[in-house]
Amino acid sequence: MFNRISMIGHGDIDLPTATLFASRGKQVSGVDMSPQAVKRRQIP
């Protein structure tokens, strides 16, 4: 059906949802207006 997903926000709902999609083999990209939120959730 679809292989790429874009998420807006890195909050308590968006991040677990993005993780679920990624665990199912989808390519997930996310953006957030808060640099602190992005920095906290970056994968090293």
Share of the chain above pLDDT 70, in %: 91
7 secondary structure, DSSP code? E
Sequence-ordered alpha helix ranges (H) in 1-44 = 14-23, 35-40
- Cα separation of 42 and 7, whole Å? 14
Q: Give the confidence band of 22 by pLDDT, cuts at 50, 70, 90.
A: very high
- Please indicate whether residue 43 or residue 20 has the higher confidence score (pLDDT): 20
pLDDT at 42 over 70: no
Residue 25 is predicted with a pLDDT of: 94
Residue 14 is predicted with a pLDDT of: 86
End-to-end Cα, the chain, rounded Å: 30
Name the β-bridge partners of 7: 30
pTM above 0.85, yes or no: no
- Domain ranges, ordered by start, for the chain: 4-40
Per the CB < 8 A criterion, the answer to whether 29 and 9 are in contact is no
